[in-house]
Homo-oligomer: A and B are copies of this chain.
Amino acid sequence: MPNRPFVLAFIAKCERSFSLAPEERAAIERLPVRIEYVAADRPIVRQGDKPSQSSMILKGIACTSITLASGRRQISAFHIQQDFPDLLSLHLRTMDSDMVALTECKIASIEHVVLRAFCTENPRLCAFLWHLTLVDAAIYRQWVANVGQRSAEQRVAHLLCELAARMRVVGMADGSTYPFHLTQTDLSEATGISTVHMNRSLQSLRARKLISLQKGVLTIPDDRALRKAGDFSADYLHQAEPLRA
C-alpha cells in the first residue's frame, strides 16, 4: 500500500470540511497514485507544460512562480503538505506559471483521466476539489493586496502569519514554533521586495520581538501581535468552513 500516506492525508483534509461517506472514502482509497520525489530547486511543472496529472504534496515545500522578461521572479504562492499545487491543470490545459520545489518534496501524482472520472462519480468530492482551487484563488487575491498596498515589514508579517496558519491546520506547528526552510531570497520574491530590504525587515521584526527565525525554525511568541503588525486576518483561508454541496 504505497499510497497510504496520500490516502490518509486526503481523508484528513476532507474531514476538516465535511464527513466522508463510506463510498467516498472507498473511492479515495481506490485512487491510483504514483509517489515521486523532487529535489530542491527542481521544477515540478513548468510554464508551457501540458500536464496529464495533478499532484498532492506529502512532504516539503514548493512554490508557484512567474519569471518576467526582465529575469525578475515573482513567487505567487507557497505550497505545503496536503496542498494540491497543480490541481488547476485538471481544467487548464497549459500551465501559465512554474511550480518548483523549494526543498526536497515528496509528491503523490494522479492521472487527470482518473481524477475526472472520480469527479463525475463523486459530486461532493468534485465540489471539494473545486473548493480547494477557490481557496488558492482567495490567497492570490490577498497577495495582490499585500504586495500592492502594504509596507515591506507588514508584507513579511502578513506572509509569515499566513504560512503559520496553514501549517497549523496540517499539524506542522509545535506550540508556537514552525519548521521553516525558506531563504530570505524566497521571501523577498514572494513579497516583491529586494533581498537586502527583506533582511532588514526581518531584523526589525526580530527587534520588535514579533518573530525569531533561526536554523530552520520560526517562532512566533505572540501570535496576536504579529497578526496586528501584518494586518492579518485568517478569514480568507476559509479553513474551517463546512462544505455545502
A69 interface residue (CB < 8 Å to B): yes
| Given the contacts A76-B144, A144-B147, A236-B96, A131 and B192 also touching, CB distance less than 8 Å | no
Q: How many copies does the complex hold?
A: 2
- Chain A interface size, as a band, is 35 or more
- Residues on B with C-beta less than 8 A from A136 are 137
- Residues on B with C-beta less than 8 A from A127 are 91, 116, 119
| Given the contacts A66-B141, A143-B144, A149-B192, A134 and B88 also touching, CB distance less than 8 Å | yes
| Given the contacts A141-B64, A235-B96, A149 and B91 also touching, CB distance less than 8 Å | no
A-B CB proximity, top 3 nearest? A148-B192, A140-B140, A74-B145
Q: What is A's interface to B at a CB cutoff of 8 Å?
A: 64, 66, 68-70, 72-74, 76-77, 88, 91-94, 96-97, 112, 116, 119-120, 123, 126-127, 130-131, 133-138, 140-145, 147-150, 191-192, 231, 235-236, 238, 241-245
